[in-house]
Amino acid sequence: MQSMSSAWLLPEHIADVLPAQARRIEELRRQWLDLARSYGFELVIPPMLEHLESLLSGTGHELDLKTFKLVDQLSGRTLGLRPDATPQVARIDAHLLNREGVTRLCYCGPVLHTRPAGLHATREPLQLGIEIFGHAGLEADLEVLELTVEGLASSGVGNLTLDLGHARMVRSVLGGLMLDVQALTDLVAALTAKDGSAVRAMTRGCTAESRDALLVLLDLYGGDEVLIQARQRLPARGPIAQALDDLAWLAGHVRQACPGVRIGFDLSDMSGYAYYSGVRFAAYGAGSPNPLARGGRYDEVGAVFGRNRPAVGASLDLKGLSGVVAAARPRPAIRAPWGEDAALRAAIRRLRAVGETVVCILPGHESETQEFECDRELRAVDGQWVLCAL
């Protein structure tokens, strides 16, 4: 039996969110959803759990390992607690909305992971995402990129860096390799980690052209010179040239719209190989070694729902974001005594009605502090309740 002294302990990498951080997270949530609405995105709220096969559609083995599973006591079927909301939003687009043309959807809610992504990571991120369905052109990719950059900048993230890559280019290089699923997974992981010795060992039996192209990819990360070097050193294949054109077009437009953003390229990064089908990106900020947001094109995400149409989007963890942006100043508030006087209670109601925060000091708690910084006080002056500076 669990001792009473440990009854308050939470599972590893699961934590309560206390007032100051909770307020900051909520402010970020409202800010991002309002920004998405200004772009024309509609809000949806997918459920926390659903049938496992729907939850993991088109996401690969990696997401399966992250998913908590349980048996539905009503149907006997296996359910999953969502580790990522994107497949759910694809299901909503395919079946519940089933619109023709472009659909823009956004969402925000907790997801659960069986294991943390890093040493100090939470297993319960608060995922916010934006998705555009129904447009295959780069215009949709650019809209997602611009919204992500604008959201991070307005959240207080400084020294923004966008790291761009393209799944189609690497898939073109890998396309001629006769590898089983596990070998391909291991090779993709080695490419992403830039492990040259592992790539050489895994491609000993491949053609010289494919092996050399993969080794070249390991060196193709940095600034604009990467795109020039890629055109010179990679095989002259149509998909590779088109991918490089896509990256150059997007980088040019993002720089025009967001001149303060630094843009880099990493052509061997295949994070989410089984997921992305086109341009992929990661956004970083000052002092953050891990991406603050990820996104890209994943046109196959809706295939299992019978509606394989273009899709591009991005997502981020608001809990993680709240930890890297500057803490907000305590919210100004008004201090008021507690009392039964009708005039006092009416004055408090009027102030709250116009958006003020009024903290009533309960009897016996006059010296206690809270997250609010009271800079004014309601005082009785000549029989009237007057707002005075502290």
Looking at residue 65, what DSSP letter applies? H
In a shared domain, residues 353 and 366? yes
**Same domain, yes or no: 153 and 40:** yes
Three-class secondary structure of residue 250 per DSSP: helix
One domain for residues 153 and 172 = no
Q: What is the DSSP string of 115-181?
A: S-SSTT--SS-EEEEEEEES--SHHHHHHHHHHHHHHHHHTT--S-EEEEEEHHHHHHHHTT----H
Q: Is there a contact between 187 and 156 (Cβ–Cβ < 8 Å)?
A: no
Q: Same domain for 178 and 228?
A: yes
Instruction: Supply the DSSP symbol for 303.
Output: G
Same domain for 60 and 204, yes or no, is no
pLDDT digits (tens, 9 = 90+) for 5-57: 577 889 999 999 988 889 899 999 999 999 999 999 999 999 999 998 888 76
Which residues form the domain of 152? 7-157+290-328
The residue among 222, 249, 284 that closes a domain is: 284
First-to-last CA distance in the chain? 53
The pLDDT value recorded for residue 65 is 86
Pair 13, 21: CB distance under 8 Å: no
What local confidence, expressed as pLDDT, does residue 61 receive? 61
Instruction: Specify the range with the lowest mean pLDDT, choosing from 109-113, 152-156, 189-193, 308-312.
Output: 189-193
232 and 381 part of one domain: no
Residue scoring higher pLDDT (104 or 203): 104
C-beta of residue 324 within 8 angstroms of C-beta of residue 288? yes
Share of the chain above pLDDT 70, in %: 94
Mean pLDDT of the chain, nearest integer: 88
Same domain assignment for residues 182 and 104 = no
The Cβ of residue 16 has, within 10 Å, a number of other Cβ atoms equal to 8
Whether 190 maps to a domain, the answer reads yes
Is 2 among the domain residues? no
pLDDT in tens, 223-273: 999 999 999 998 888 889 999 999 999 999 999 998 999 999 998 887 766
Looking at the structure, tell me whether residues 171 and 193 fall in a common domain: yes
Sheet of 126-133, strand order:
42-43, 103-110, 126-133, 311-317, 293-297, 279-284, 161-166, 262-266, 221-222
Taking each helix axis from N to C end, the angle separating 167-174 and 238-257, rounded to the nearest 10 degrees, works out to: 160
pLDDT tens sequence across 277-291: 899 999 999 877 889
Same domain, 215 and 142: no
Three-state DSSP state, 354: coil
Q: Residue 352 falls within a domain, yes or no?
A: yes
In this predicted structure, the answer to whether residue 302 has a pLDDT above a threshold of 70 is no
**Position 368 in a domain:** yes
**For the chain, how many structural domains are there in total?**
3
Query: Any idea what the CATH number is for the domain that residue 91 is in?
Result: 3.30.930.10
Domain presence at residue 182: yes
Average pLDDT over residues 303-322: 87
Beta-carbon contacts of residue 290 (< 8 Å; ≥ 6 apart): 117, 118, 284, 320
Burial class (CB in 10 A: 0-12, 13-18, 19+), 229: middle
Mode of pairing for the β-strands spanning 372-381 and 331-337: parallel
pTM above 0.75, yes or no: yes
Domain's final residue, options 284, 310, 341: 284
Please indicate, yes or no, if residue 19 is contained in any of the structural domains: yes
Residues 313 and 342 in one domain: no
Place of tokens 């295939």: 303
Residue 1, domain member (yes or no): no
The verdict on 298 and 215 lying in the same domain is no
Q: What is the pLDDT of residues 80-112, one digit of tens each?
A: 999 999 889 988 998 888 888 999 999 999 999
Q: Are 239 and 323 within one domain?
A: no
Joined tokens for residue 45: 């709220």
Residue 227 falls inside a structural domain: yes
